[in-house]
Amino acid sequence: MVMQGPETSRVATLVRLLDEIAELHAKLLAAIDLKIDAMKTADTDQIREAMLGEKRIVEQINEREGLRRQLTVNLGRSYGMSPERSRRMSALQIAERFAGTETARIESAVTKMRELTTQIARRNQVAQLVSQNILRHMRIVFASMTAPADGGVAYSADGQTNAATNERIFDLVG
């Protein structure tokens, strides 16, 4: 199909929007990396700031994604497609069908986003594992503080867990 008039403008807008979404994904990846670095140093203020930054970026991504869907519907409608059908079209399908000279730019933006979302998923797995390990260790610490008089679990000088003495930490410090 040959694009004319408003369709050309819509495709150009779509390309800009996809580039913005890809850029936001790169910022999200950086925010997750900051959070992981803060977790390594147990900097709770930095962790909170990184999480707030992540939240803001995700909100922006969702907003841009809504605009992309609207644009897709409008583009499809101009070619006689139903809103439901055009809403389900991926950016690559739009590029193949309508984009003409902008196809390569759309494909590039989609490839970049695909790579970034894969990296984001991996980093989120790391953050999840770190969080789980922190919680596991905190449970051990609190269990040793509140263990019954017959002892619980405690950390040794080398960081390993072992059976605690018969004294509870709270009993020792009042």
For the ranges 39-43, 52-56, 106-110, 126-130, the one whose mean pLDDT is highest:
52-56
Confidence of residue 144 (pLDDT cuts 50, 70, 90): low
Quote the percentage of the chain above a pLDDT of 70: 77
Give the per-residue pLDDT at 25: 95
Nearest 10 degrees: CA dihedral of 12, 98, 58, 38?
Answer: -80
Q: Tell me what pLDDT residue 3 has.
A: 45
Backbone angles phi, psi at 20, to 5 degrees: -65, -45
Mind listing the pLDDT tens digit for each residue in 109-130? 888 889 999 999 999 999 999 8
| Nearest-angstrom CA–CA distance, 126 and 132 | 10
Report the pLDDT value the prediction gives residue 1, as an integer from 0 to 100: 43
pLDDT value of residue 2: 42
| pTM over 0.75, yes/no | no
Mean pLDDT (the chain) is: 80
